[in-house]
Amino acid sequence: MTDKGNNGVDEMQVDVYTHEQRKKGSIPEGFNADYLKLYYAKLFPHVEIFKWMSYGNDGKHPARDTSYFGRREFSFTLDNDVYLRFQSFNSAAELENSIKEKCPFKIDIGPVYSVDPAKRHAYAQAGDNVFKPVERELVFDIDMSDYDDVRYCCSGADVCLSCWPLMTIAIKVIDFTLREDFGFNHILWVYSGRRGVHCWVCDGRARRLNNEQRAAIADYFRVYKGNENSHRKVSLAGPAMHPFISRSYADVLKLFFEEKLLCGQELLSTEERFQMILDMIPDESISGQLQERWKASWRPSMSKEDINIVRWGQLKHILQSGKQKAPVLRRCVEEIVFTYTYPRLDMEVTKHMNHLLKAPFCVHPKTGRVCVPIDPEHCEDFDPTSVPSLAELLEELNMAGSSNADSGWEGTSLAKSVSFFKSSFLQPLLKSCKVFLPPMPSELECQPIQLVSAGVDYL
Amino acid sequence: METVSAQKRKTTASEPSPSLPLYRSAPELEVSLDDFELYAIDRLRVLKAMSDGLSRGKKPDEIGALVTELWKEHMQHPNPSDVMNKDIISHFVLRLVYCRTEDLRKWFLSMETTLFRHRFRLESLEVQRMLMSEFKLPFKALSNSEFEAVKEKLGQVARSINQPLPTVDSTIFKVPFEEVPELVAGRRVYMLKGDAYVAMNQVASLVVTQFRSHLSKALVLTNRKWTSMIQEQEKDRLTPIVEALSSSYLGPDYSQPKEYAEISIKDIDRVANSSFPLCMRHLFDKLREEHHLKHGGRMQLGLFLKGVGLKLDDALAFWRVEFSKKVGTEKFDKEYSYNIRHNYGKEGKRTDYTPYSCQRIITSTPGVGDHHGCPYRHFSEENLRAALSKMGVSSRTADDVMDKVRHRHYQLACTLTFEAIHSCSCDAGINHPNQYFTESQKILQQRSQAAE
């Protein structure tokens, strides 16, 4: 049942799509400037984004930095691919009005600079580099297309429920490590709208990291040698694995590999696929043995078990049995699991303070889906195919009726996401900001030694 | 005797280590102007040789050995109590020299940090501990109970990086991870709630980070003091020395050509073909082709020829022959000959200009219509390969050369070319076009003598 409304004439007339179409979310007409205008008018959580970006400096605390929000860079990508960088705003109202007026197809968030980005040219002349980033969340970007060599269900821009577990794995491994190893607490995970996830670490300590420290964290997470040009090689050499690595393997990777990906991706079901795994075994007599066995039998006579599970069991048995003395062979099983599961980060995104990253709650132009937060505690329940889409939300607004002119996102499918953002992320974050604002002058005691870690910046 | 004081701070009473100062504050020592310059030059030799070694891809232990050797060679002093003074003074003088632009600061910071790292590593654990406490780092070693709680994890980390297992007697420091980015990046430390657990043998990393951070800030402050006060105040005394030091090339300056390098105008084409480095060949060929060169090219080639032994009269004749084909002899005599005589110190300031070193040539920026500069830097890959092929370099060698170019090691690229053409190695590496010429001529003459 379709009833085409007059686009742009009457705000509340929205095309009605069938339930099926909405669910698939692949309607190109589900994204256009008019819909977006409505979205920014009624649904986008402007105030929450402002509060987040203010980190408590918009409050009444006498020690607040009133220039803080105004020194943050935003960038807008407009309809005709026009790209506006170094946008900055001095209040929530300015931010909201500019978004509503310009209706950007994408909003990126950059760093907080030493001075208002709008004034950067005035400072470019000074030799001492006075215009530079001073704070920026620690961010991560994980993109499913980086896993194309280990997933068979889709490739490129597509994602489905068979390969989405790779994202779940990435969230679990990285989230846990950021909290446990690095001591960070205020972490926001966001669906990128199409095929990946973003991570924003918002602790003050994280925001004050310099590029070298960010690179160190990115490298701490790195397990692959080689790049896009050479075959990715996992290197787990050594008599033992670092506790972070062994923990990730034992708690997340092994489980997901054996229980989800092995069968979900049918990693050992065809010759082409199992050969890729056999090629990772450095001992040809063993890989040869398995190869023969698997080429010969399509299905073992008795068992009703999934063939991937059976074969994996056989592989593990040979490599990990007591007979194998060579540690390199025992390590082989882990290396295979790592290759098929371990998170693949975009290092460049994490390393640079001035890297721009898409803001949460944007709508992805190609899918129409909203970039909603993901709860890391329940990330295995996240379903990218049922994320609210723009068309769906506007339809919901429509149905809520014009009597609720101010309702906004409440009452729509977006409510859950915004509530989660506020209660699980924003509130605890702002509470911690209150605690860490510098003390009042009368409370100042003798200053402790300025450590590198206290954020005194250097070249 | 005149006093040097780079910064107005109180001196630390005494240095903790007998051999490794931390350069926390400028010393209140007296030094003669001569020593001011000479000490700095000696230290600069160490830093530059180290820099060379690094860009040639030497490994850390090789660099360590190199540092020991260089220090012994350049930083000794007949009076043993002055060795430390020389160390400290030379460092602070070079701070003045290298604080003045961001590139200079970056280079100096990098070299001094590397130097410090290697010297620190060579010290005993005792001394290392002492130096650590000098930094007044508020990091405590783990207590026994704290150690027991994380012993197993620490052991696992140690095994993962092939290090000895920590025992209850080991000193382990709990340190915010921001202090040891290298160790974090390599997963060489146990991490818990934002703290890195650093073993005594990893302490170098900690201290080096502190050293670098401190020096980096100090350089910025020094620069401010320099521009706001010192440069002007010292314009008749220290400033000329400081300014000369930063662009100093530390090899022979080829202002006095050796006997066997003297060439006359008849020899030019022959030696250009056999012994000119690519930058000069290119200029030479262009000159022959177009009968003209713009100012930058005239300077670079002209001074090179002077260094190679071309006498003023021959030089005038050479340039006249070419230029007159384009602009006529009268114009040449009126407009161009003056500059040539100027280069030889016969006009104006009468400075005897010295031929440009590679460093200087590489950093020049040729514009449209210019042919000077370093071809390894400025030519496109296609043009460079064509030029190398013309010189007789095989395409296999050209590949190696291109690899050096891609990594911006232009002098190494030129060295490879030299080695390919002369079929012998050049360990010193090319850092001056006249050096290329001299070495080339040496080899060719040795060969022709052997043949006789």
User: Can you give the pLDDT of all 459 residues of chain A as single tens digits?
Assistant: 333 333 433 333 334 444 444 444 434 457 889 999 999 999 999 999 999 999 999 988 878 899 999 999 999 999 888 999 999 999 999 999 999 999 999 999 999 999 999 988 887 665 556 889 999 999 999 999 999 989 999 887 889 999 999 999 999 999 999 999 999 999 999 999 999 999 999 999 999 999 999 999 999 999 987 654 445 577 776 788 999 999 999 999 999 999 999 999 999 999 999 999 998 888 888 889 999 999 887 655 556 788 999 999 999 988 887 666 677 777 889 999 999 999 999 999 999 999 999 999 999 999 999 999 999 999 999 999 999 999 999 888 887 765 555 668 888 899 999 999 999 999 999 999 886 555 444 433 434 334 444 333 332
Facing residue for A243 by CB, picked from B156, B162, B181: B156
Element housing A345 (H / E) = none
Q: Which residue of B has its CA nearest to A179?
A: B193
Residues of chain A with C-beta less than 8 angstroms from the C-beta of B109: 459
Element housing B277 (H / E) = none
Tell me the one-letter amino acid at B3: T
Which ranges in B328-432 belong to alpha helices (H)? 329-331, 337-343, 358-363, 375-378, 381-391, 395-406, 410-422
| Contact predicate A128/B220, CB 8 Å | yes
Facing residue for A212 by CB, picked from B181, B195, B219: B181
In this prediction, residue A226 carries a pLDDT of: 60
CA distance B123 to B20: 9
Active site amino acids of A: 73, 141, 143
Of the two residues B447 and B136, the one the predictor is more confident about is: B447
CA distance B251 to B49: 11
Asked whether the beta carbons of residue B194 and residue A451 sit closer than 8 angstroms, the reply is no
The number of angstroms, rounded, from the C-alpha of B249 to the middle of its chain's C-alpha atoms is 9
| Contact predicate B292/B257, CB 8 Å | no
Asked whether the beta carbons of residue A458 and residue B213 sit closer than 8 angstroms, the reply is yes
**How many other C-beta atoms lie within 10 A of the C-beta of residue A379?**
19
Q: Which residue of B has its CA nearest to A185?
A: B193
Asked whether the beta carbons of residue B185 and residue A245 sit closer than 8 angstroms, the reply is no
Q: Is B374 annotated as contributing to ligand binding?
A: yes
For residue range B57-92, what is the model confidence (pLDDT) as tens digits? Answer: 678 888 889 999 999 888 888 887 788 889 999 999
In this prediction, residue A441 carries a pLDDT of: 45
Q: Which two tokens stand for residue B56?
A: 């040639």
CA distance A407 to A127: 51
Q: What angle do CA B213, B210, B19 make, to 5 degrees?
A: 115
Which residue, among A80, A92, A1, has the nearest Cα to A33 in the 3D structure? Answer: A80
CA distances from residue A334 to A269, A306, A315, B50, B180 in whole angstroms, order as listed: 20, 21, 12, 41, 29
| Contact predicate A16/A1, CB 8 Å | yes
Q: Is B99 annotated as contributing to ligand binding?
A: no
Å from B211 to nearest chain A CA? 11
For residue range A416-425, what is the model confidence (pLDDT) as tens digits? Answer: 999 999 999 9
For residue range B409-451, what is the model confidence (pLDDT) as tens digits? Answer: 888 899 999 999 998 887 777 889 999 998 898 888 888 877 7
Q: Which residues of B touch A (CB under 8 A)?
A: 102, 105-106, 109, 136, 138, 153, 156-157, 159-162, 176-179, 181-182, 184-187, 190-195, 209-210, 213, 216-217, 219-220
Q: Which of B177, B188, B198, B231 to mutate to test the interface with A (most CBs of A within 10 A)?
A: B177
CA distances from residue A329 to A86, A233, A287, A291, A324 in whole angstroms, order as listed: 53, 15, 11, 17, 7
CA distance A392 to A38: 12
CA distance A426 to A422: 5
CA distance B55 to B36: 29
Residues of chain A with C-beta less than 8 angstroms from the C-beta of B186: 219
| Contact predicate B192/B184, CB 8 Å | no
Asked whether the beta carbons of residue A216 and residue B210 sit closer than 8 angstroms, the reply is no
Q: Which two tokens stand for residue B62?
A: 């090789």
> Strands, E, within B53-192: which ranges?
172-176, 190-192
Q: What are the φ/ψ torsions at residue A362 (nearest 5 degrees)?
A: -75, 165
Region of residue A82 (phi > 0: left; psi between -120 and 50: alpha; otherwise: beta): beta
DSSP 3-state of B6: coil
Q: Is B279 annotated as contributing to ligand binding?
A: yes
Residues of chain A with C-beta less than 8 angstroms from the C-beta of B178: 205, 209, 213, 451-453
CA distance B363 to B372: 11
Residues of chain A with C-beta less than 8 angstroms from the C-beta of B192: 180-181, 183
- Percent of chain B at pLDDT > 70 equals 90
Q: Which residue of B has its CA nearest to A221?
A: B185
CA distance A360 to A193: 9
Asked whether the beta carbons of residue B220 and residue A459 sit closer than 8 angstroms, the reply is yes
Asked whether the beta carbons of residue A182 and residue B194 sit closer than 8 angstroms, the reply is yes
Q: Which residue of A has its CA nearest to B138?
A: A449
Asked whether the predicted pLDDT for residue B171 surpasses 70, the reply is yes
Q: What are the φ/ψ torsions at residue A84 (nearest 5 degrees)?
A: -105, 115
- Find all residues with CB under 8 Å of B344, minimum gap 6, and list them: B306, B312, B315, B352, B353
